[in-house]
Amino acid sequence: MSTTPVLTSQALVLLGGAVVAAPIFKKLGLGTVLGYLAAGIIIGPLLHQITEGEQILGFAELGVVFLLFIIGLELKPSRLWQMRRDIFGLGTAQVLLTGAAVSAILYELGMLDWSGSVITGFGLALSSTAFALQILDENGGTNRRYGQRAFSVLLLQDLAIVPLLALIPLLALQAPEDTSPPLQDFAVAVGSILIMVVAGRYLLNPVFQIIARTGAREVMIAVALLIVLGAATMMQLAGLSMAMGSFLAGVLLAESSYRHELEADIEPFRGLLLALFFMAVGLSLEIDVILQNYLLILIAVPALMLLKAVILYTLCRATGSPHNDAVRIGLLLPQGGEFGFVLFTAAAAAGVFSDSWASLLIVIVTLSMALTPAAAALAGLLMNEHDEMTEELEEDFDGAGADVLMIGFSRFGQIASQILLAGGREVTIIDHSAARVRQAATFGFRIYFGDGTRLDVLRAAGIERAKIVAVCTHKMEITDRIVDMVQAEYPNARIYARSYDRLHTLSLRARGVDYELRETFESGLVFGRKTLEGLGVDDNAAQEIMDDIRRRDEARLAVQEAEGISAGRDMLHFEPVRPEPLIKPKREKAPSLEPEHDILSATANIKASPEKDALADAD
**Segment 294-327, tens digit of pLDDT:** 888 899 999 999 999 999 999 999 988 888 889 9
Contact in structure between 282 and 348 (CB atoms under 8 Å)? no
Phi, psi of 406 (to 5 degrees): -100, 125
- How high does pLDDT run on average in the chain? 77
Bridge partners (DSSP) of residue 471 are: 407, 497
Q: Which of 40, 48, 49, 46 is nearest to 17 (CA)?
A: 40
What pLDDT, in 10s, does the model give residues 403-414?
A: 889 998 888 888
Q: How many residues in the chain?
A: 619
Average pLDDT over residues 239-259: 73
Residue boundaries of the structural domains of the chain: 9-383, 404-519, 522-616
Contact in structure between 445 and 413 (CB atoms under 8 Å)? no
Phi, psi of 458 (to 5 degrees): -65, -40
**SS3 letters across 279-298:** HHHHHCCCHHHHHHCHHHHH
CATH class of the 404-519 domain in this structure? alpha beta
Q: Which of 139, 50, 132 is nearest to 91 (CA)?
A: 132
The amino acid at residue 400 is A
Q: Which CATH architecture has domain 9-383?
A: Up-down Bundle (1.20)
What pLDDT, in 10s, does the model give residues 475-513?
A: 888 899 899 888 888 888 889 999 988 888 888 888 889
Phi, psi of 334 (to 5 degrees): -90, -5
Compute the CA torsion angle 366, 368, 370, 372 (nearest 10 deg).
-140
Phi, psi of 607 (to 5 degrees): -120, -5
Structure confidence at residue 5 as a pLDDT band (50, 70, 90)? low
Contact in structure between 452 and 477 (CB atoms under 8 Å)? no
The answer to whether the pTM exceeds 0.75 is no
Q: Which of 190, 191, 200 is nearest to 73 (CA)?
A: 200
- More confidently predicted of 229 and 349: 229
- More confidently predicted of 116 and 578: 116
Q: How many CB atoms within 10 Å of residue 261?
A: 17
State the pLDDT at residue 143: 63
pLDDT of residue 580 exceeding 60, the answer is no
- More confidently predicted of 236 and 93: 93
Q: How far is CA 317 from CA 53, 149, 500, 530, in A?
A: 40, 12, 40, 56
Q: Which of 463, 424, 431, 464 is nearest to 448 (CA)?
A: 431
The two domains 9-383 and 404-519 share their CATH topology (first three levels equal) = no
- State whether residue 334 is helix, strand or coil: coil
pLDDT of residue 376 exceeding 70, the answer is yes
